[in-house]
Amino acid sequence: MITAPISVPEREHYLNASYGLKSWLLTKDHKRIALLYLATITFFFFLGGLFAVMIRLELLTPEGDMVQSETYNKLFTMHGVNMVFFFLLPAIPAVLGNFLVPLMIGARDLAFPKLNLASWYIFTIGGLFTLYALLSGGVDTGWTFYTPYSTTYSNSFVIATAVGIFIAGFSSILTGLNFIVTIHRMRAPGLTWFRLPLFIWSHYAASLIMVLGTPVIAVTILLLAAERAFHIGIFDPALGGDPVLFQHLFWFYSHPAVYIMILPAMAVISELVAASARKRVYGYEFVAYASVAIAVFGFLVWGHHMFVSGQSVYAGLVFSVLSYLVAVPSAVKVFNWTATLHKGSIALETPMLYTFGFIGLFTIGGMTGLFLAALGLDVHVHDTYFVVAHFHYVMVGGTIMAYLGGLHYWWPKMTGRMYPEILAKLAALTVFIGFNLTFFPQFILGYLGMPRRYHAYPEEFQVLNVMSTAGASVLAVGYLLPMCYFIWSLRYGKVAADNPWGAVGLEWQTLSPPPVENFDEIPTVTHEAYDYVSLPNGSVTPKKEAHVR
C-alpha cells in the first residue's frame, strides 16, 4: 500500500475534462455514464444488503420474534426486487459493459450516446418508483409476484413496485440495443468477429436477451396491473383468469433474465482468466458460441420453474430435457477456463482470486441446477432453501464474484488509481468464506424440507440457520471492505500505469484514465484477442510503465 501523495501530471482525461454536477448529469460519455450507474447500483446493492441482514437476523431464532410477519414478507420481497432488478441485472453490463465495450472494440463511444444517458435516467426513475413503494409501506408478494396473490389478495404497494420494474426494463432494452448496434457497426479496422474479446461476445449474447426478453416482462406487468387496478380477469380464477398463465409469462422472461445476469459475468471471467494466465482463452470459438447457445436455448426452459405448478407432465418432460441441454454450454465454458490455466503464467492478484471463487462457486451452483432440473427430485426441493442456495451460488457466487473481480481488474483503468492489494486479497478471501458459510447450510436446510419465505420455522432447523446468519455477517464485512478501500484509493491509491497487468486488450492500450475520446487515434487491429505470443508484454506498442511481475 503506497499512500504517499503523488502529484498526478495534469493530463486531460474523461474525469477532469469538465467539472461540476451538470457536466456529469448531462454527460454523453459512456465512461461517465458507467460511473453514474456504478453509484446508483451500489446504492441499491447496499439497500438490498440491508434487507438481507434483517432477514438473516430474524432467522436466527425459530420463532418469528424480531419483526412481524407482514414486515418479514416485505423484507424478502424488497431484498429480491432490489437485488435482481436494480443490482444484478444492470451490474456488469451497465457498469463494466458500458465502460468497456467501446474501449475494447476501439470505438470512441457507444453508437447512441444520448440514448445511453437516457437509459440511466430511465433506470434511476424506475428505481425511485420502487423506493417510493418501499417508503410508503413496501410490497409483500415476493420478487416473483405470483397471482392471484399479487393481483387480488396483497394489501401492499404492488403496482408502484411493478411500475418501477416496468420502467427500469426500458433501460435494459435500450442498453441492449446500444450494445448490439455498437458491436455490429463500430469495431475498429481489422477487428473481425473472431478477434473480439470474449467479453464482447458474451455481452452481445446478453444484449440479445435484454432486447427480446424484457418486453415480455413489461407486458406481464401491464396485465398484472390491469387485473389489480381494474379487475379485468386475466390471472385470478375468481375473475375467470388462469393463475398459471402468469407463471408462464413471468418465467418466460425471468429464466432468460438469469442469463442476463450470468453471461456478462462469464464475459468478465474470460478476460480475467486470459489476462492472469497471459494466454489465449482455450477453445475461444467454443466459448464464444457457447454464449450465443446459452442465450438462444435459455428462452426454451422457463417451465422448469413450474414442475409442481400443475402444468402437464409432458410439458415438464420437455422443459427438463431442454434444461439439461442448456447446462452443457455452461459446463463447456468452465472446462475451457480451467484448461486455459494449464501451462499459463498465472498472476495471483486480486482479480484472479475472484476468478477462482467464481469458477468454484459457479460449478457448484450449476451442478445443483442439475438437481433442480431432475423432475422427480425437484418435486421435493422446489420452493425450499435448496433453490435459494442454488440461485445464490450462481448469482452471488457467480455474478457478484465476477463483478467484484472485474471492478478490481479495471479499477486502474476507470480511475487511474490502484486499490490496496493486500487488503483487497483479504477482502476476496472474506467474501469467499462468508459466502460459503452463508449459503452452503441452505442446501442442507432445503433438502431437509425447510420451505423458502418462512418467517418462523421448526426448531430442528435452527443450527443451520445460525450458521447461515453467522456467514452473512462475514460476507457483509467482505462487501463493505472493497467499498471503503475503493473510495480511499480515489485519493490515496497508487497512480496506476496505463497497463498495470500487461494485458493485450485494446482498453489497455490507451491511457489510464482514458481521454474523453478514448483513443488519440483509432487503433488498427492486426491480432486476435489474447495474442500474448505476438505481443509478449501485453502492449501493441511496448510501454515503459507496464510493470510485469
Using CB under 6 A, list all residues that contact ligand HEM.
Answer: 144, 258, 261-262, 304-305, 323, 327, 330, 366, 369-370, 372-373, 378, 382, 387, 390-391, 394-395, 398-399
422 makes contact with other proteins (CB under 8 A)? no
**Beta carbons of 396 and 469 less than 8 angstroms apart:** no
Task: State in angstroms the smallest separation of the CB of 10 from other proteins.
Answer: 34
Residue 455: contacted member of ligand HEM, other proteins, Cu ion, none (CB under 5 to 8 Å, by partner type)? other proteins
When the beta carbons of 319 and 354 are compared against Cu ion, the nearer one is 319
Residue 205: contacted member of other proteins, ligand HEM, Cu ion, none (CB under 5 to 8 Å, by partner type)? none
Give the interface segment with other proteins, choosing from 98-106, 191-199, 202-210, 307-315 (CB under 8 A). Answer: 307-315
454 makes contact with other proteins (CB under 8 A)? yes
* Binds other proteins by CB under 8 A, chosen from 3, 23, 69, 524: 69
Q: What is the 3 state secondary structure string of 135-160?
A: HCCCCCCCCCCCCCHHHHHCCCCHHH
Alpha carbon distance 333, 372 (integer Å): 21
Task: State in angstroms the smallest separation of the CB of 121 from other proteins.
Answer: 33
Alpha carbon distance 143, 161 (integer Å): 10
Query: In 3D, which of 121, 120, 155 has the Cα closest to residue 136?
Result: 155
When the beta carbons of 154 and 499 are compared against ligand HEM, the nearer one is 154
Residue 261: contacted member of other proteins, ligand HEM, Cu ion, none (CB under 5 to 8 Å, by partner type)? ligand HEM
List all residues 6 or more positions away from 321 whose beta carbon is below 8 Å from its beta carbon.
none
Alpha carbon distance 331, 502 (integer Å): 29
140 makes contact with other proteins (CB under 8 A)? yes
DSSP code of residue 280: P
Phi-psi region of 520 (alpha: psi -120 to 50; beta: other; left: phi over 0): alpha
When the beta carbons of 491 and 549 are compared against other proteins, the nearer one is 549
Residue 394: contacted member of ligand HEM, Cu ion, other proteins, none (CB under 5 to 8 Å, by partner type)? ligand HEM
Task: State in angstroms the smallest separation of the CB of 475 from other proteins.
Answer: 20
Task: State in angstroms the smallest separation of the CB of 226 from ligand HEM.
Answer: 24
Task: State in angstroms the smallest separation of the CB of 251 from Cu ion.
Answer: 7
Residue 369: contacted member of other proteins, Cu ion, ligand HEM, none (CB under 5 to 8 Å, by partner type)? ligand HEM
Query: In 3D, which of 441, 454, 304, 452 has the Cα closest to residue 388?
Result: 452
Q: In Å, how far are 18, 29, 51, 173, 494 from 417, measured between CA atoms?
A: 19, 20, 32, 33, 6
Task: State in angstroms the smallest separation of the CB of 290 from other proteins.
Answer: 9
| Cis omega (within 30 of 0) for bond into 102 | no
Residue nearest to Cu ion (CB): 255
H/E stretch holding 315: helix 313-341
* Binds other proteins by CB under 8 A, chosen from 24, 112, 447, 492: 447
If you search the block for the grid coordinates 487515434, which residue do you land on?
521
* Binds Cu ion by CB under 5 A, chosen from 255, 333, 390, 392: 255
List all residues 6 or more positions away from 470 whose beta carbon is below 8 Å from its beta carbon.
437
Which residues inside 236-255 make contact with other proteins, applying CB under 8 A? 236-238, 243-244
Q: Sign of the CA dihedral 468, 430, 478, 357?
A: negative
Task: State in angstroms the smallest separation of the CB of 159 from other proteins.
Answer: 17
When the beta carbons of 248 and 527 are compared against Cu ion, the nearer one is 248
Alpha carbon distance 167, 162 (integer Å): 9
Task: State in angstroms the smallest separation of the CB of 387 from ligand HEM.
Answer: 5
The one-letter amino acid code at 529 reads A
94 makes contact with other proteins (CB under 8 A)? no
317 makes contact with other proteins (CB under 8 A)? yes
If you search the block for the grid coordinates 482470486, which residue do you land on?
353
List all residues 6 or more positions away from 275 whose beta carbon is below 8 Å from its beta carbon.
347, 351, 409, 501, 503, 505
* Binds other proteins by CB under 8 A, chosen from 116, 154, 350, 539: 154
Provide the 3-class DSSP secondary structure of residue 241: coil
301 makes contact with other proteins (CB under 8 A)? no
**Beta carbons of 468 and 438 less than 8 angstroms apart:** yes
Provide the 3-class DSSP secondary structure of residue 417: strand
Residue 256: contacted member of ligand HEM, Cu ion, other proteins, none (CB under 5 to 8 Å, by partner type)? none
Which residues inside 368-407 make contact with other proteins, applying CB under 8 A? 368, 370-371, 373-380, 382-384
Task: State in angstroms the smallest separation of the CB of 27 from other proteins.
Answer: 38
Residue 245: contacted member of other proteins, ligand HEM, Cu ion, none (CB under 5 to 8 Å, by partner type)? none
Alpha carbon distance 495, 7 (integer Å): 9
Provide the 3-class DSSP secondary structure of residue 495: strand
Give the interface segment with other proteins, choosing from 41-49, 127-135, 222-230, 316-324 (CB under 8 A). Answer: 316-324
Alpha carbon distance 129, 51 (integer Å): 18
Interface with Cu ion by CB under 5 A: which residues? 255
